[in-house]
Copies of this chain bind each other. A is one copy, B any other.
C-alpha cells in the first residue's frame, strides 16, 4: 500500500466494515492504489477484466456504447463503491468504460483474487451483494421512470438522485459536488441534450437550480421533487 491513502476512510467503507482488523490488513495488503486524473479512463468497455476496484476518492462515470455508437451512462461511482467486478457478472471483459469525472484514487485487486476473497470473507460478499442490490434498485427506478414519466419528471428524479448520492448541503441548497454536464443528465434521463438545456434554463429562471459553470446547485430540491413526483406541473 502506497502512502497518500487514508486508511481510516477506507476502513469505514461498508464493504470492509465487518472485517476484523487482521482481515482488513490482509485485503488492503493485496491492493494496488492507482490514480486517475479527471477525464482519464480506469478501464475501457471490452477490455479484459484483469482488476476489480474500490473507489477511494473522486467520482467516476461508467458508460456503455451501443453497437450503433450511442453512449449511455450506466451509473456514477462514489467513494466506497465496488466497481469493475466483471467476475460477479460472469464476464471476462468490462461491460462499460469507467472514466474519472474529477481526480480520483482507486484501489485495484487482481480479478484472480475475487473468488478467494468472497469465500474467505463472507462479509465482503454480503457487502458486494448490497452494492449490486443498490445498483439494481437504481436501474429499476430508472426503468420505471423511463416507462411511465414525462421527460421533465425524469430529469427531476435524475438530478435529485445525483444530489442524494453526491450532494453537499450548503447555504443556498444542495451542491452536486462533481462536474456533471447537461449531456450526463440527458444520458441518465434518457433524453437529448437540447431538452435538458431547455429544462434547466426554465428551472434556473424560476430559481430552482443554479448552473455555476459545471457544479449544479439544487436551490429548491423540494420543488424539484414535487415536479418529479408529478404533484406540481413542470415548467416546460
A: residues with CB less than 8 A from B are 64, 66-68, 70, 72, 74, 88-90, 95, 115, 118-119, 122-123, 125-126, 128-130, 132-137, 139-140, 142-144, 146-148, 187, 190, 229-230
Contact = CB atoms under 8 A, between A and B. Distances in A.
A131 B192 CA distance: 33
Most B-side CB within 10 Å, residue of A64, A68, A140, A190? A140
Contacts of A90: 130, 133-134
A115 B130 CA distance: 12
Contacts of A148: 66, 68, 70, 72
Contacts of A143: 72, 74, 139, 142-143, 146, 190
How many copies of this protein are present in the complex? 2
Nearest to A121: B122
Given A147-B187, A148-B68, A95 B126 contact: no
A108 to B, nearest CB: 19
Contact of A128 (B68, B70, B129): B129
Nearest to A231: B67
A67 B225 CA distance: 13
A144 B89 contact: no
Nearest to A124: B125
A102 to B, nearest CB: 24
Nearest to A65: B144
A222 to B, nearest CB: 16
